[in-house]
């Protein structure tokens, strides 16, 4: 069964730094995602810690939060049928070395940390993550 969903996508600092944001947005549009809202922001370490708090017990949490707050990012609300899963397919595996050909992380990712894009992993988290960046 399919349903129209929204998911949160982040173009991470490594991709913004390499000026890949327009190319990545084009890839989403070509794959029938609607970009419902978007903004370029630079978040603080505290905000990154709040955003990634589900990972706070992980050994990589500190580095992860330093990294997400290290430079500008582009946050987007993407809409499509089954957007959460479709976005995860388009991104590919978390580790670019393991991502399938044609996925964003295979094309642009540098390492498991600098993997160019983030996407919500469930519909519940998508709502939480969209609110985090877009609820005024
Ligand atoms: P993301 O989808 O943004 O969600 C959490 C991030 O943690 C993940 O992408 C990776 O960039 C990062 N990360 C760093 N090390 C690891 C690891 N060992 N396993 C999973 N994610 C990791």
Say what the pTM is: 0.97
C-alpha span between 101 and 91 (Å, rounded): 10
Residue 123 near ligand 1, beta carbon < 6 Å: no
Mutating to test ligand 1, I would choose from 60, 96, 129 the residue with most ligand atoms within 8 A of its C-beta, which is: 60
Q: Give tens-digit pLDDT for 20-36.
A: 999 999 999 999 999 99
C-alpha span between 113 and 79 (Å, rounded): 26
Residue with tokens 């295979």: 106
pLDDT string in tens for the chain (136-residue length): 679 999 999 999 999 999 999 999 999 999 999 999 999 999 999 999 999 999 999 999 999 999 999 999 999 999 999 999 999 999 999 999 999 999 999 999 999 999 999 999 999 999 999 999 999 7
For the domain spanning 4-40+73-134, the CATH number is 3.30.70.141
Mutating to test ligand 1, I would choose from 56, 91, 112 the residue with most ligand atoms within 8 A of its C-beta, which is: 112
Per-residue confidence (pLDDT) for residue 13, from 0 to 100: 98
Burial class for 132, CB neighbours closer than 10 Å (0-12, 13-18, 19+): middle
Q: Give tens-digit pLDDT for 46-68.
A: 999 999 999 999 999 999 999 99
């Amino acid at each position: 069964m399919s349903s129209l969903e929204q998911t949160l996508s982040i173009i991470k600092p490594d991709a913004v730094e390499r000026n890949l944001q327009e190319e990545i947005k084009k890839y989403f549009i070509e794959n029938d995602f609607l970009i419902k809202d978007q903004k370029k922001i630079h978040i603080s370490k505290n905000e990154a810690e709040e955003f990634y708090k589900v990972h706070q017990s992980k050994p990589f949490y500190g580095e992860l939060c330093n990294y997400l707050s290290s430079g500008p990012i582009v946050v987007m609300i993407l809409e499509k049928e089954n957007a959460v899963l479709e976005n995860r397919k388009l991104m590919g595996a978390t580790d670019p070395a393991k991502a399938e050909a044609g996925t964003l992380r295979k094309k642009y990712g540098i390492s498991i940390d600098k993997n160019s894009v983030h996407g919500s992993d469930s519909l519940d988290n998508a709502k939480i993550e969209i609110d985090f960046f877009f609820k005024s």
